[in-house]
Structure 1
């Protein structure tokens, strides 16, 4: 026998986007059910980004999940960039854009969201199999299997927050959907270590490839080096990683890096991807289900948060004011910010990485562009504004 659940919004995906949306809706008295294909332990163990734009910080606070973030997160005024082994500059988002950002790991955000969902008594179905979205332009419903039982969720709207490989985007007809994609010919080898991070976040352009120093907590560091896309984890011992990372940093910064055993190591491919539209009938895409950015600009989670903001406001306006004005504008509003952010992440990726067929001429032009930005107040202001994140329109 099929168990039938009735709700106002069915949310596909129990990651940060889906959970944040559910909590925000709950605070407005709007019912939702979250359906997640993975186990709760798996979702909570994912290692992801950790740089939050200030609009994301404020949205998390608005959802009531900012207490731990404000206590443990590290507020920054900007990010540093190094090139040619000696040149440094500051992307000073506080000075030029009047916005700070916060280093706080996505794993912690997910833990905070789940703790709040538990407190609110929210409904989350993990281990969901065979998830199918039905009647997207009529009386929509979702079916899935869990624990050997069949479920049906009747709803007014479906929020597809289930990532790049999820079922939500795949449920939109090919005749309606347009996909735009660029795949980059390299990856990022990331290492997590229980070592004190550098005081600042660092981006490094080097002739052997890009490098990055990030942080998750006062005793948890996250570092990356650009590597060939076909490299394997087994190719990279801890010793080799630390030697390569420090070799790419300017000597005065490299000597400040504290090394130690890796507690997590992974290689991530890089791609830019956008799917249009982000709405089809009663289905709305949000986060990685609709778009992917290369991690260079630290925009993935922040874009997901802005999607959630737009969708949350649209649903509140629909249910509380009986108006579809924001529902009808959702895809347009979200995509306007998505494409600006995609362009910035693509540009920064091209500026800081070494491509397999890159010529010495192209390397010199990268260095010259960094030099020109560093010596221009206008250039520094533009870069800082872009890095700080584009404003989220306040729909009231």
Structure 2
């Protein structure tokens, strides 16, 4: 890794570098600066307006000339830094990551720091506002990449971060390492961070499955598929609940329309399912593209939905539509979403995720409770309302 050392806050005024603007680029910079300077009150306000204009003015020919055909956060930061250097204002580009939450693949964040004569003032690269969140961790300065190679090989770097707030656990593990080093060696804490992130999700699936058992065997909720609500709830973790329900409903409605069209072709089961699966993939890709161009970043997470499960759901819902009628099919679809929402609300509880990961042996308790519910043969909650009329008749 070729990382620059982080200079200290006591650093003296840095030297300005030649921004390198010539010809039409120089004319574009001077025209752009003249326009923004007329609206600014001081130099710091000029910095804010410049960052906002470059981030938002997508139809400005001057901005498009400076950013090129494929603008990125690194290119925007470099252009802003060079424009400010042209104005005689020292700047530096900061590269870092967010330490707000655990992630298996941290995104490289960039922001600008401007020298005001005494200290460096950070500016957000998108909003232009002064200051950055406290969980932003600066890693290196400049336009260099995180990893480089002198041999011409393409190197990919992946940064994993994990929030560790469990000081008591770390102390216990330190003591456990002395008393039972073998047990610690084979615990989940011995795994790499990326693998730990995977198991933090996988260990929630039995909790969701147990909740589905309660909803189906005790409450009497009917869903499409046995454990489809669990898989859909995992996708809701990335899309948020409301947006996830909207995306799922839209995908299900469009897929159901295609399924009804295929009904007229009198296809066999397997080719029909394959056709629906292909259409579902195309719909997911189309929704992602439309959401991206509309600026709906959450819509990109539609790709996280389990496409095979959705395909089977479309098939089962179409069969229920034909055999039981539209009302029964829609009720079952709504019940499926309710089960997924309930599962989502459970697995999103931070304490549940923490306890299951730290003490995975508690899943044996969940297994025992599931075995008990497997022997349950009494009335379901919804059946009490169904047979209420019979009970009243017997009483009379």
TM-score (norm 2): 0.20
Higher percent of residues as strand: 1
Higher RCO (C-alpha 8 Å, min separation 6): 1
TM-score (norm 1): 0.20
Query: Could you say which structure has the larger radius of gyration?
Result: 2
